[in-house]
Amino acid sequence: MKKILLALATAAICSVSMAQVGTTVKEGAKATAEKAKQAGDETKAAVSSEPNKSVDKAKAQVHKAKAHHHAKAAKDAAKEIPK
């Protein structure tokens, strides 16, 4: 009986740990994608004409904010992983 309870407790701890790692990886990937979009919009704004330039700069700022949010979420999720 004790072995079964120990096995169940171990399984529960492992599943929680894997869920946190999954969240960390997912948020990190989102942050990287947003950074790439930001760089693309900044490059596009640098070579475009004036009306489109401001639109592309605004998009780049949105991507920057989203990347910051996802990076913070990934960092917070990493802190929650049991050691």
Angle, vertex CA 66, rays to CA 63 and CA 19, nearest 5: 135
> Is residue 18 very low, low, confident or very high in pLDDT (cuts 50, 70, 90)?
low
- Of the two residues 9 and 72, the one the predictor is more confident about is 72
- Of the two residues 14 and 34, the one the predictor is more confident about is 34
Burial of residue 74 (number of CB atoms within 10 Å: 0-12, 13-18, 19+): buried
What are the residue boundaries of the structural domains of the chain, listed by start?
Answer: 2-80
> Is residue 10 very low, low, confident or very high in pLDDT (cuts 50, 70, 90)?
low
Residue 61 C-alpha from the chain's centroid = 17
pTM for this structure? 0.48
Which secondary structure element, helix H or strand E, spans residue 48, and what is its range?
none
Q: Residue range 55-82: average pLDDT?
A: 82
Rounded distance between C-alpha atoms, residue 77 and residue 67, angstroms: 15
- Quote the tokens at residue 75: 């960092």
